[in-house]
A and B are shown apart, each in its own frame.
Chain A
Amino acid sequence: MNKLLVIIGHDLRLAFRRRSEWFQPLWFLLLVVALFPLGIGPQPALLSQIAAGVIWIAALLSNMLSLESLFREDAQNGRLEQWLLLDASLPALAAGRTFAHWLVTGLPVILISPLLAAWMQLPQAAMDTLILSLLLGTPTLSLLGSLGAALTLGSRQGGMLLALLIAPLSVPVLVFATNAVSDAASGFIADTQLLLLGVILLFAITLIPFAIAAALRIHLQE
């Protein structure tokens, strides 16, 4: 547990030192969402209909952008080997790193989501659901992406491969989340979808760290 905090604290400090790394995906997200009203034109009704999908797809893409380098640096400089030699569980360390990553890339998305929702004319009634769905969904995306980053450590064109691997796996999160938000926008209660997102997150938290650890081990065996 102590080591987990060390990893998280260290990653956060490093992220703070190179602000561009986590600022870029956020900037990308803002740009993509901002382009939609410009491209579609002043049609509030249409915008508010596609708002949930646009915000969520943009969040998904920006999440992928930032993930490729998650383990790459440490694999190259040899610190990943040293992770193996600690008497701490590798899944826990991998989960710690993923959590730190979510704190610097996932959390800001949630914080700026009201702004995005306003641009996309999302009805006020759906705001809570949007924030909740992001809160439950983005950690799952980070975990999946972290797994992808670990699996693609060995390949040089890791980024593209990572997107191809992770996008299909993210589909359930995307479907339930956008469905929840558009249901809430039309005045329905979206509890079921949010609960399902929570279930997916619980599954992801309990299982994916072990998969990440296995992928990292395989990479180090090469």
Chain B
Amino acid sequence: MDQLLTADKVSYERFYRSVFGTASIHLKIGGCLLLTGANGAGKTTLIKLLAGVLRPTTGTVSCCDQHFVGHQLGLHQELTVQENLHWYLRLWGSDLGHREASQKIEAALARLESIALRSQRAGSLSAGQAKRAALARLFLVPRCLWLLDEPFVNLDQVSIDLLLHEIREHCAAGGGAVIASHALGLADLPRSQRLKLPIIRPKLQHQSVA
């Protein structure tokens, strides 16, 4: 199976109003899809549909196991970054001992040069630091598909470059990524496709990428 993600004529209605019409997405191994569109075009909704947080009104989504990092970062404010990541590690079924787990967490944080954040409480982090801490989940457990909603917002240039590098590496290694972003051009990610969601007027539209 060389498809990482297949979304077939997916649509989502909120209060009986279609959010982005219908969309079909086929993502092959090594593929990267860039979701763009104006504010309110439905990028977040579409990416949540792909992740399985939302259930589509029509259409089907099937994908391999994925990491989803959304607007809400999934960090508990009162726990340290280390404790937050450890929680994920254990929920994802790892039965590592304490030392191995913290080595793994350290390695994951190191990918975005965030080891210094390890023992800080998530609530005390700046927006960019919190984003980096949340993105460290991607490296905690390898999964083939990354679904990232505005991953570059609040990041400094160094972190953006690091993350772009990691995404390229991930895709080159046979993974895939769907990224909703304003800030990114196609030039930043080679071999990526773009799906631009238009603002929906009442008439339905259909978008598709192969």
**Is B truly associated with A?**
yes
A interface residues, Cβ below 8 angstroms from B: 2-3, 6-7, 10, 14, 17-18, 73-74, 76-79, 81-82, 84-86, 88, 220-221
Chain A interface mostly: helix
Whether the pair B70, A81 counts as a contact (CB closer than 8 A) is yes
A2 to B87, CA, bound (A): 12
Q: Which residues of B68-98 have CB atoms within 8 Å of chain A's CB atoms?
A: 68, 70-79, 87-88, 90-93, 95
Most chain A beta-carbon neighbours within 10 Å: one of B54, B72, B73: B72
Tell me how far the C-beta of A18 lies from the nearest C-beta in chain B, rounded to whole angstroms: 7
Whether the pair B78, A79 counts as a contact (CB closer than 8 A) is no
Whether the pair B54, A79 counts as a contact (CB closer than 8 A) is no
| A-B pairs with beta carbons under 8 Å apart, 19 shown | A3-B93, A6-B87, A10-B87, A14-B76, A73-B77, A74-B76, A77-B72, A78-B70, A78-B72, A79-B75, A81-B53, A81-B68, A81-B74, A82-B91, A85-B53, A86-B91, A88-B91, A220-B54, A221-B55
Tell me how far the C-beta of B146 lies from the nearest C-beta in chain A, rounded to whole angstroms: 13
Interchain CB contact (< 8 A) of A6 among B52, B53, B77, B91:
B91
Tell me how far the C-beta of B141 lies from the nearest C-beta in chain A, rounded to whole angstroms: 12
A45 to B51, CA, bound (A): 63
A82 to B90, CA, bound (A): 13
A78 to B74, CA, bound (A): 4
A14 to B83, CA, bound (A): 11
Known: A2-B93, A3-B91. A73 touches B52 (CB 8 A): no
A10 to B86, CA, bound (A): 10
Known: A2-B93, A6-B91, A10-B87. A84 touches B52 (CB 8 A): yes
What count of chain B residues pass the 8 Å CB interface test?
25
Which 3 A/B pairs are nearest by Cβ-Cβ distance? Answer: A78-B72, A78-B74, A6-B90
B74 / chain A contacts, CB cutoff of 8 Å: 77-79, 81-82
Whether the pair B76, A79 counts as a contact (CB closer than 8 A) is yes
A17 to B123, CA, bound (A): 15
A18 / chain B contacts, CB cutoff of 8 Å: 78
A85 to B88, CA, bound (A): 11
Known: A3-B93, A17-B78, A18-B78. A85 touches B73 (CB 8 A): no
Tell me how far the C-beta of B129 lies from the nearest C-beta in chain A, rounded to whole angstroms: 15
Tell me how far the C-beta of A218 lies from the nearest C-beta in chain B, rounded to whole angstroms: 11
Please name 4 further chain A to chain B contacts, defined as beta carbons within 8 Å, in addition to the given A6-B90, A74-B76, A88-B91, sorted by A numbering: A14-B76, A73-B77, A79-B74, A81-B53
Tell me how far the C-beta of A66 lies from the nearest C-beta in chain B, rounded to whole angstroms: 17
A46 to B73, CA, bound (A): 56
A10 to B48, CA, bound (A): 26
B79 / chain A contacts, CB cutoff of 8 Å: 14
Whether the pair B70, A221 counts as a contact (CB closer than 8 A) is no
A177 to B70, CA, bound (A): 46
B70 / chain A contacts, CB cutoff of 8 Å: 78, 81
Most chain B beta-carbon neighbours within 10 Å: one of A17, A85, A220: A85
Tell me how far the C-beta of A222 lies from the nearest C-beta in chain B, rounded to whole angstroms: 8
Q: Which residue on B lies nearest to A74, using beta carbons?
A: B76
Tell me how far the C-beta of B38 lies from the nearest C-beta in chain A, rounded to whole angstroms: 22
Q: Which residue on B lies nearest to A73, using beta carbons?
A: B76
Whether the pair A81, B76 counts as a contact (CB closer than 8 A) is no
A73 to B72, CA, bound (A): 12
Interchain CB contact (< 8 A) of B75 among A14, A77, A85, A88:
A77
Tell me how far the C-beta of B176 lies from the nearest C-beta in chain A, rounded to whole angstroms: 17
B87 / chain A contacts, CB cutoff of 8 Å: 6, 10
Whether the pair A84, B53 counts as a contact (CB closer than 8 A) is yes
B66 / chain A contacts, CB cutoff of 8 Å: 85
Whether the pair A86, B92 counts as a contact (CB closer than 8 A) is yes
Known: A77-B73, A78-B72, A82-B74. A220 touches B53 (CB 8 A): yes
A74 / chain B contacts, CB cutoff of 8 Å: 76
A86 / chain B contacts, CB cutoff of 8 Å: 91-92
Tell me how far the C-beta of A20 lies from the nearest C-beta in chain B, rounded to whole angstroms: 13
Interchain CB contact (< 8 A) of A78 among B54, B73, B92, B93:
B73
